[in-house]
């Protein structure tokens, strides 16, 4: 694993070429924007496109009210196909606090993405990691 990229709002850790972890320290839109900057850096470093699939562990246990719909909108904007750049299929384990409200519509939204986003919501970190590896 590489050293985490620190940010007051969201940290990024590269687990492997196709696996990344993000730790949210804030639950505002600014934290989602900080996360988007990490995704942008992966794209610029040629670590996003033409990879087939990418696994993301999103640890939002500290960010109880993180705007999940906004996060999905940002991911949809950033994960698009371009000529000679194939967007990866993203598998996301969203690790949340038990107090976080998760609406069923979030999973339905994810399925409509192109390429589709596979997402599961967890309160148990071990279960989230096991699911990502399956």
Q: How far apart are CA 133 and CA 121, in angstroms?
A: 15
User: Where do the H-state alpha helices sit in the chain?
Assistant: 29-44, 68-78, 104-111, 125-133
Percent of the chain with pLDDT over 70: 91
Residues 6+ apart with CB under 8 A from 131: 93, 120, 122
Task: Give all domains of the chain, ordered by start, each with its CATH number.
Answer: 10-133 (3.90.190)
**DSSP 8-state secondary structure symbol assigned to residue 5:** B
The tens digit of pLDDT for each residue in 63-101 reads 999 999 899 999 988 898 889 999 999 999 999 999 998
């Amino acid at each position: 694993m590489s050293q985490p990229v620190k940010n007051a709002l969201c940290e990024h850790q590269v687990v492997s070429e196709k696996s990344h972890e993000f730790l949210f320290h804030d639950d505002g839109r600014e934290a989602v924007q900080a996360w988007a900057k990490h995704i942008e850096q992966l794209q610029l470093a040629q670590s996003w496109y033409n990879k087939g699939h990418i696994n993301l562990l999103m640890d939002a246990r500290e960010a109880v009210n993180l705007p999940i719909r906004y996060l999905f909108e940002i991911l949809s904007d950033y994960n698009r196909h371009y000529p000679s750049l194939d967007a990866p299929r993203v598998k996301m384990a969203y690790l949340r606090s038990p107090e976080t409200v998760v609406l069923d519509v979030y999973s339905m939204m994810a399925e409509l993405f192109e390429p589709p986003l596979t997402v599961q919501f967890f309160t148990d970190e071990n279960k989230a990691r096991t699911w990502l590896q399956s």
